[in-house]
């Protein structure tokens, strides 16, 4: 792909690059918004910005180092993975909930609202929505795409602008920058840094996973990624690999179900609002709500849906020590009930467990050592005093993103941390932001024009992984960025 692309037909203009800025008097320069990262979050912000009315000229520059409008989740892959959420809940627009379903029905006429459709199709939908928004935007609103990695962002010395540095040495000046860089890589497993020959997969979304028939594999983590990797790996091994999956609690995600809403949708939220001051009371009331739904002929997922709509408010009201207790005692249970698997995926996993091809353990991995052709994994089962060992042919790290900014290996984030422009929260859950998504710096002040959107919004909202939450943030951020010039930096 070209280094510079534009959907409006004109390449990235030279004026955008500081070192070649023209000296002539020209019409007022368009306000520039640079979005770093074109996964779901960055693409959704761009789409909504392009769709909004703008009185003044606007240039939206989308910078992406991999494929546009895909991100990790919706990339083209050898294996066709399914979405974990039904089609009717995957629209990128909250005002048009069936937008994705209608798009999908063009190629899959029989697709229904409850179907779990291919992730790759979802990527096509995002690409197509971005293109349509760019084509429909008026001439003074332009989208430009730059296929490069951003390695640093700095404050300009004499103006309030930001300088965005690309890996090829170029610098772009921007009035506003939105970081939409997605999930960081998982933290490395102890001892695996030395294993460099494909027996250790540090991040399964960055390397194709292929297990061989007859081999024994250790998967660290038992969440949604584990499910994807185990099924893809067993496909490659024609069902003849033996897989051990280990996590602290050994819990695997629950299955999706066709939600039977038996209560008025306001019933649950109303009930739970009163419980939000205490974690213990909250957990008790969610359980009671789930049991009540089951008794009335519905199911427990109704309670999860009720809490989900309140999560940001509940999270913000919990005191720091209650949040800490949540992370220690409740989080694993919340995660497996909230982030569920499509029935088909869950059943395939269950079949593997029954046949002994997948063994799920609760415990902690203590060390991984290379011993000739194999890897020796030392681990301790939950509640056990002594540790045990497993000899495996391969280890796959499915522990999920390393959210602690202090340990990030991303060049751009590291540069922001070093400058004091980005900080983690006290629980190391992600990036500290204010209510508009502006980064909070080391002195506790919100940046004038540097924003973040994506899964690392967890310190403020807790649940910010799925499309349903991220699209709301994208819409809000686009509206904020579309405020008339003058109110941008200080709004």
Ligand X SMILES: Cc1cc2nc3c(=O)[nH]c(=O)nc-3n(C[C@H](O)[C@H](O)[C@H](O)COP(=O)(O)OP(=O)(O)OC[C@H]3O[C@@H](n4cnc5c(N)ncnc54)[C@H](O)[C@@H]3O)c2cc1C
| Contacts to ligand X by CB under 6 A | 36-42, 63-66, 71-73, 83-85, 149-150, 180-183, 412, 454-455, 465-467, 470
- Which helix (H) or strand (E) element contains residue 346? helix 343-354
C-beta closer to ligand X: residue 180 or 306: 180
Q: Give least dist CB 37 to ligand X, A.
A: 3
Give the number of other CB atoms < 10 A from CB of residue 280.
Answer: 12
Q: Which two tokens stand for residue 383?
A: 């509640």
Q: Give least dist CB 179 to ligand X, A.
A: 8
C-beta closer to ligand X: residue 141 or 150: 150
C-beta closer to ligand X: residue 85 or 161: 85
C-beta closer to ligand X: residue 16 or 289: 16
C-beta closer to ligand X: residue 395 or 474: 474
**Residues in the chain, overall count:** 491
The backbone region for 486, taken as left when phi is positive above 0, alpha when psi lies in -120 to 50, beta otherwise, is: left
**Among all chains, which residue has been given the structure tokens 């023209």?**
22
Q: Give least dist CB 249 to ligand X, A.
A: 21
Q: Say how far apart CA 218 and CA 245 lie, in whole Å.
A: 6
Q: Which of 14, 54, 199, 41 is nearest to 130 (CA)?
A: 41
Give the number of other CB atoms < 10 A from CB of residue 56.
Answer: 12
C-beta closer to ligand X: residue 85 or 477: 85
Q: Are the beta carbons of 101 and 87 closer than 8 angstroms?
A: yes
Beta bridge partners of 374: 371
Beta bridge partners of 144: 6, 61
Q: Give least dist CB 465 to ligand X, A.
A: 5
C-beta closer to ligand X: residue 123 or 363: 123
Residues sharing a CB contact under 8 Å with residue 161, sequence separation 6 or more, in sequence order: 173, 174, 175, 449
Q: Say how far apart CA 302 and CA 132 lie, in whole Å.
A: 36
Q: Give least dist CB 359 to ligand X, A.
A: 23
Handedness of CA 307, 313, 318, 324 (dihedral sign): positive
Question: In the chain, what is the greatest distance between 2 CA atoms, to the nearest angstrom?
Answer: 76
Q: Give least dist CB 151 to ligand X, A.
A: 7
Q: Which of 397, 131, 97, 98 is nearest to 245 (CA)?
A: 397
Q: Are the beta carbons of 238 and 356 closer than 8 angstroms?
A: no
Q: Give least dist CB 83 to ligand X, A.
A: 4
C-beta closer to ligand X: residue 102 or 140: 102
Q: Are the beta carbons of 258 and 299 closer than 8 angstroms?
A: no
C-beta closer to ligand X: residue 324 or 331: 331
Q: Give least dist CB 457 to ligand X, A.
A: 9
Q: Give least dist CB 38 to ligand X, A.
A: 6
Residues sharing a CB contact under 8 Å with residue 193, sequence separation 6 or more, in sequence order: none
Q: Give least dist CB 372 to ligand X, A.
A: 33
Q: What backbone torsions phi and psi does residue 64 show, to the nearest 5 degrees? A: -140, 135
Exposure b/e, 388-405, CB count within 10 A at least 16 = b: eebebbbbbbbbbbbbeb
Secondary structure (DSSP) of 101-136: HHHHHHH-TT--TT---BHHHHHHHHHHHHHHHHHH
Beta bridge partners of 243: 217, 358
C-beta closer to ligand X: residue 174 or 465: 465
Q: Give least dist CB 170 to ligand X, A.
A: 13
C-beta closer to ligand X: residue 452 or 488: 452
């Amino acid at each position: 792909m070209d280094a510079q692309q534009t959907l409006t037909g004109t390449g990235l203009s030279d004026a955008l690059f500081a070192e070649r800025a023209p000296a002539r008097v020209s019409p007022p320069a368009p306000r520039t918004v640079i979005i770093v990262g074109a996964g779901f979050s960055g693409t959704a912000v761009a789409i909504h910005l392009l769709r909004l009315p703008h009185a003044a000229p606007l240039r939206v520059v989308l910078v992406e180092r991999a494929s546009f409008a895909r991100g990790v989740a919706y990339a083209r892959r050898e294996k066709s993975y399914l979405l974990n959420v039904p089609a009717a809940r995957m629209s990128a627009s909250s005002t048009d909930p069936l937008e994705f379903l209608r798009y999908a029905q063009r190629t899959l006429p029989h697709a229904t609202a409850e179907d779990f459709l291919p992730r790759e199709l979802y990527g096509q939908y995002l690409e197509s929505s971005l293109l349509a928004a760019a084509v429909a935007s008026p001439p003074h609103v332009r989208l430009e795409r730059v296929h490069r990695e951003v390695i640093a962002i700095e404050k300009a010395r004499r103006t309030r602008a930001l300088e965005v540095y690309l890996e090829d040495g170029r610098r772009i000046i921007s009035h506003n920058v939105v970081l939409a860089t997605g999930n960081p890589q998982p933290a490395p497993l102890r001892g695996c840094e030395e294993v460099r020959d494909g027996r250790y997969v540090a991040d399964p979304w960055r390397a194709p996973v292929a297990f061989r028939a007859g081999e024994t594999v250790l998967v660290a983590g038992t969440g949604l990624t584990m499910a994807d990797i185990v099924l893809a790996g067993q496909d490659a091994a024609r069902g003849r690999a033996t897989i051990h999956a280990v996590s602290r609690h050994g819990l695997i995600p629950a299955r999706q179900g066709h939600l039977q809403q038996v209560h008025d949708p306001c019933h649950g939220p109303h009930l739970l609002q009163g419980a939000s001051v205490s974690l213990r009371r909250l957990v008790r009331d969610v359980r009671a709500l789930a049991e009540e739904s089951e008794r009335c002929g519905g199911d427990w997922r109704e309670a999860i849906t009720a809490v989900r709509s309140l999560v940001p408010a509940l999270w913000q009201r919990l005191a720091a020590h209650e949040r800490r207790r949540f992370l220690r005692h409740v989080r694993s249970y919340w995660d497996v009930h909230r982030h569920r698997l499509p029935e088909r995926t869950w059943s395939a996993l269950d079949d593997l467990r029954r046949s002994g091809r997948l063994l799920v353990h609760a415990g902690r991995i203590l060390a991984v050592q290379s011993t000739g052709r194999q890897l020796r994994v030392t681990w301790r089962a939950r509640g056990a005093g002594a540790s045990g060992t497993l000899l495996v042919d391969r280890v796959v790290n499915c522990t999920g993103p390393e959210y602690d900014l202090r340990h990030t290996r991303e060049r751009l984030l590291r540069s922001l941390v070093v400058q004091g422009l980005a900080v983690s929260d006290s629980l190391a859950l992600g990036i500290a932001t204010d209510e508009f998504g502006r980064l909070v710096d080391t002195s506790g002040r919100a940046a004038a024009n540097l924003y973040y959107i994506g899964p690392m919004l967890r310190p403020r909202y807790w649940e910010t992984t799925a499309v349903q939450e991220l699209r709301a943030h994208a819409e809000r951020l686009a509206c904020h960025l579309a405020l008339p010039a003058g109110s941008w930096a200080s709004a």
